[in-house]
Amino acid sequence: MKRILEIALGIITGIGGFLEAGSLATAVQAGADFRFELIWAIVLGAACLAFLVEMSGRLAAISKHTVADAVRERFGFRFYLIAIIIMQLVMLLVLAAELGGVAIALQLVSGVSYRWWTIPVALVAWVLLWRGTFGLIEKGVSVLGLVTLAFVVGALQLHPPLDDVARGALPHLPSGDAAHYWFLAVSILGASISPYLFAFYAAGAVEDRWDVSHLNINRVTAGFGMGFGGIVAIGALVTAGIVFHPAGIEVKSYEQLPVLLTTALGDWGFPLFVASLGIACFGAAQEIALTSGYMLAQGLGWQWSENLQPAEDARFSLSYTVMIALATIPALAGVDILKLTNISMVFSAASLPIVVGPMLIIMNDKRYLREYGNGWFSNTMVALIIALAFVLAIVSVPLLLKGG
């Protein structure tokens, strides 16, 4: 019984935690500009993420070490230092976009500019981390995040032609502006394969004291959780493909988006959209802020746990505090949140090799994984993901300049 509950929670974590500012924004832009043509990018991204999540969970369950730990221990301080600087900068950008997303949701409800909402949002996020426990945050984010299923319901209400949707799930060349098409493909992949997601997941497995007996749950959570999570993003893409694409509407800001769900769901559409945007971004913001503290603490050997009081792990608690404070700056300065989201997804994609690359070596290290190391299948997959990561890293910034 307990196991069934844990599996259910794992799947809920995947569904409720998948959507955030980046995956939502990239999916609706893709739907508006290319109808269903880019569904394959979400499918590919979710599949890659599922493999990486499974591996980092397995590493944590067997060795009680996370990817950040292993990067420092196995690759030395120099490599860790470069990786942590890049990761912290990318996470700062993404966190700023998520906080901005919550603030925009509140602006849509209240009519008061998102700039005014930035500090209150950051403060509430911080208080929950300062006082909350890991279980509270993990379960809160996933259960409340289920509201994002509204996009799946919305998409179904609009009766999409399913053969077109299925055709979109297979990779193919663009029918229109190629640079913009590939830019969106890269952004979607960057938003789906977020390094913070599997770093957070691995730290969570250590927080929850996983061991060998959790390997099955880990596999189910990774596979089904990320699979169903991807469906939420596909729901957002399909909705935009039906509502925006025929009308030739280009997505220029978050304020345009509620109409996606009001068209599909009527009066319920607006509150459901605002709740989805606000909750999804808020959950992601908490996870990113924590992950930033986790990666520093793990790489430098500090005491760390969200279940301790801040006074018991001062450096860890102050890390996420500083991170949240810095991440308010872009929104306070009035930066366009949608542009910020797009840029942060591109840099997220560009940073992938530095986190994914080491996985191939770590996941085959018997000192960490004993007999639970990668088999040929996982190794082939991780090698393919690394190849993809390098391609993304090379093309992302030029595409941002050309097609963004």
Partner 1 sequence: MLLVRDVLDKQLLDRQGHKMGKVDGVVLEYGTDGPPRVLYLEVGAVTLAHRLGARVGRWASHLAQRLARVHHESYRIPWTRVRKVNLEVTVDEAVEETRVNVLEDWLRQNVVERIPGSGP
- Residue numbers at the binding site for partner 1 (CB under 8 A): 63, 65, 69, 72-73, 76-78, 80-81, 127, 130-131, 299-304, 309-311, 314-315, 317-318, 367-368
Question: Least distance in Å: CB of 312 to partner 1?
Answer: 8
CA angle 68, 72, 74 (to 5 degrees): 110
- Determine the 3-state secondary structure of 206 from DSSP: helix
Dist. CA 400–CA 312, nearest whole Å: 43
Residue placing its CB nearer to partner 1 in the complex, 58 or 65:
65
- Give the CA angle between residues 81, 60, 359 to the nearest 5°: 50
Residue 149 in tokens: 């299923």
Burial of 398 (0-12, 13-18, 19+ CB in 10 A): middle
Q: What span, in angstroms and rounded, lies between the C-alpha atoms of 234 and 166? A: 11
Q: Measured from the CB atom, is 128 or 249 closer to partner 1?
A: 128
Q: Give the side-chain half-sphere CA count within 13 A for 274.
A: 14
Question: To the nearest whole angstrom, how small is the minimum distance from the Cβ of residue 92 to partner 1?
Answer: 20
Q: How far is the CB of 372 from partner 1 (least distance, A)?
A: 14
Q: How far is the CB of 307 from partner 1 (least distance, A)?
A: 12
Nearest of 331, 1, 297, 281 to residue 125 by alpha carbon? 281
Choice between 52 and 59, CB closer to partner 1: 59
Residue 167 Cβ vs partner 1, minimum distance, rounded to whole Å: 48
CB of residue 395 vs partner 1: minimum separation in angstroms?
Answer: 31
Longest dimension (CA), the chain: 57
- Please, which residue, 84 or 385, has the CB nearer to partner 1? 84
Q: Which of 3, 315 has the CB closer to partner 1?
A: 315
* Closest to partner 1 by CB, 82 or 333: 82
User: Identity (one letter) of the amino acid at 243?
Assistant: V
Q: Which helix (H) or strand (E) holds 71?
A: helix 67-110
